[in-house]
Amino acid sequence: MAEPHVVSALRDKHAEIQGRIREAECELARLRDDLSAVARALIVFDPDFDLRTVRPKRPARRGKWFGPGECARFCYDILRPATAPVTTREIVERAMVAKGLDPADSRTRECVQKTILGTLNKLGEVERLTLDGGAAAWEVR
Tell me what pLDDT residue 127 has.
86
Asked whether residue 86 falls in the same domain as residue 136, the answer is yes
Residues 6+ apart with CB under 8 A from 112: 63, 65, 92, 95, 96, 99, 101
H or E element, residue 87 = strand 86-87
Alpha-carbon torsion (59, 121, 76, 71), positive or negative: positive
Does 58 reside within a domain? Answer: no
Does 64 reside within a domain? Answer: no
**Could you tell me what percent of the chain has a pLDDT over 70?**
96
Q: What is the pTM of this model?
A: 0.57
Q: Is the pLDDT of residue 1 over 70?
A: no
Does 17 reside within a domain? Answer: yes
Q: What is the DSSP letter of 85?
A: -
Asked whether residue 80 falls in the same domain as residue 130, the answer is yes
Residue of 118 and 62 predicted with greater confidence: 118
Domain region containing 35 = 4-53
Asked whether residue 19 falls in the same domain as residue 75, the answer is no
Over residues 26-47, the mean pLDDT reads 96
Asked whether residue 99 falls in the same domain as residue 39, the answer is no
Q: What is the CATH number of the domain that holds 127?
A: 1.10.10.10
Residues 6+ apart with CB under 8 A from 119: 71, 72, 75
